Chains A and B, each alone.
Chain A
Amino acid sequence: MSKSFLEVDGLCKVYPDGQGGELTVFEDIRFALEKGEFVCIIGHSGCGKSTILNVLAGLDEASAGNVVMNGKEIKGPGLERGVVFQNYSLLPWKTTLNNIVFAVRARWPGWSKEKVKEHSERYLKMVGLDHAMNRKPSQLSGGMRQRVSIARAFATQPELLLLDEPFGALDALTRGVIQDELVKIWEETRQTVFMITHDVDEAILLSDRIFLMSNGPNARIAESVKVDIPHPRARATIFQNPAYHKTRDYLVDFLVNRSGSALPKRDGSPKFIEPAKGVAQSKPASAESETESESDTAARAVNA
């Protein structure tokens, strides 16, 4: 089996249920990410998405299973993995710029002061906040804070970016604007991103693949849905693509009707689904990263 950039193998999390027993939140989570992929994970509350992300970040430990990135097992947090938290997690006593400087300095301790500052300012500019450089987070709106948080994560140029529902606490208008910004930065940097979301449209706009989780307890990543819409995408025009509607219908159907009973393949890896297969494309589909056998199973799954 060829090695992927990130391989998650048999992850499982067990908590005491408070009555002397045990509660398995999720079990046998298996998936792989390729370099440069943007993958979203969707599932109902309580299926353990955040825990999976925290395990990838190294902030939490799984009860079983392991995560291998670049051939090395992940043990504890590291700078090669950047995290954007839902509640921004900016340090409130530092200015916007210094929050980013803090991260950049940690990433490249040998850099000169000027280089750190210049690098940090560049990323702050990328999210359009260079004018708010010297303000404290408490003087920024929620949307602006999350942009700082995103800039901080991108500024350290991690190999894997983990976004934990980054737009969950924002109003719909702000969310749209920042989604556009995220698309823009991602097109520039092509980082590998793993993101949690509850928003189907957001997932389609941003990701190459979408993982669908079944409900907890004993949740699994049941399916991996390909989003067959060429980059660059734009929020304003994406709905004109016929593949968009096929994909959206498929995701909504899963979340509404099938998330309780869906199961992954026999070997524990998610079923690969291409809901928009055969839909006419204006451009050829993006480079195939999946293996032959996965496409076969996908076809079977769709037929089933």
Chain B
Amino acid sequence: MASLNIRAAILSISFLILALGLWEMATQPPEAQTGMTEYEMLMGGADQESRVPPPSAVIKLAWAELSNPFYDAGANDKGIGIQLAYSVYRVLTGYLAAMAIALPVGFLIGMSPLMYKALNPYIQLLRPISPLAWMPLALFIIQDSDASAIFVIFICSIWPMLLNTAFGVANVRQDWVNVARTHELGPLRTAITVILPAAAPTILTGMRISIGIAWLVIVAAEMLVGGTGIGYYVWNEWNNLDLASVIFSILMIGVVGMLLDLALGKAQKLVEYKE
């Protein structure tokens, strides 16, 4: 009996083949029954109906795109690698800025019940706002579309990190804090050597949620601000009616999102501990 992993892999691949097969069959152009009409001849033999491209077309395009991902042939023709790099750069910049604020403020809120009570109403009010709703205001104030996209990432990834840090810090077991106290550790050393490692798994969970949200939001933000990035690329290909490229970039969005999540999952493993 093959191991569970091998059996799962076989099943996964079968599903993939089945799905691609169905997709391929459903998107074949109908056989020409008769010779071309005059109209069709005028149109160079093109279909009158547009249809979703078959997977074979998408794979062919993916091969072409991925074999030269960083070409740059002008504003509206850049390689997929460049577009993705723009998006990742925006996500990471906004995300790191959010981290720089969320972690210290989360520590403060978690350690001080007073600060928690004072700031909680604002957090609860600001948190449910769709990050894209900030876009017009950001564009007006910052006056720069690239920075506005980064700001939107910042504002959407700050909340999960902030709340998880505060929660993790507030719920560090009193016993461990007492260990720090009986060993006369100062507030800063207690924060670094006891509270940070104790709360790290919770904080990393917040960071993982944040990076997921940031990657979701960047696509929409770039559709709005335009210019560069994977979100813009998807929208641009839609305007070109190049559906194979649209499908291909959708898949690439999934791949990069998965990689970002995997990276934080690995980091989470590093700080995990068993009691």
Contact = CB atoms under 8 A, between A and B. Distances in A.
A98 to B, nearest CB: 11
Interface string B198-219: 1010000000000000000000
A106 B185 contact: yes
Contact of B273 (A59, A102, A136, A156): A136
A232 to B, nearest CB: 29
B181 interface: yes
A97 B67 CA distance: 52
Interface stretch (A73-81, A182-190, A199-207): A73-81
Q: Among the interface residues A57, A82, A92, which one has the most CB atoms of the partner chain B within 10 A?
A: A92
B183 interface: yes
Most chain A beta-carbon contacts within 10 A, residue among B178, B182, B194, B273? B182
Of residues A79, A89, A107, which shows the largest number of chain B Cβ atoms within 10 Å of its Cβ?
A89
Nearest to B189: A106
Interface in B38-79: none
A229 to B, nearest CB: 31
B182 A82 contact: yes
Interface string B251-275: 0000000000000000000010111
Contacts, number: 54
A91 B197 contact: yes
A89 B274 CA distance: 13
Interface string A105-145: 01100000000000000000000000000001110000000
B130 interface: no
Contacts of B275: 92, 137-138
A93 B178 contact: no
Nearest to A89: B175
Decide if the interface of chain B is mainly helix, strand, loop or mixed: helix
B176 A89 contact: yes
A24 interface: no
Contacts of A106: 183-185
Interface SS of chain A:
loop
Interface string B160-200: 00000000000000011011011111000000011001101
Nearest to B273: A93
Nearest to A88: B175
Contacts of A83: 178, 182
A103 interface: yes
B194 A91 contact: yes
A85 interface: yes
Contacts of B197: 91, 93
A192 B41 CA distance: 104
A77 B273 contact: no
Given A89-B176, A91-B176, A138 B183 contact: no
A87 interface: yes
B273 A138 contact: yes
B82 to A, nearest CB: 41
A202 B194 CA distance: 33
A76 B181 CA distance: 8
Nearest to B200: A93
Interface of B: 175-176, 178-179, 181-185, 193-194, 197-198, 200, 271, 273-275
Per CB-CB distance, the 6 closest pairs between chain A and chain B, nearest first, are A138-B274, A106-B183, A93-B273, A89-B175, A77-B181, A92-B273
Given A89-B176, A136-B273, 14 more contacts: A57-B182, A59-B181, A77-B181, A77-B184, A78-B182, A79-B182, A85-B175, A89-B175, A91-B198, A92-B273, A93-B200, A102-B183, A138-B275, A156-B183
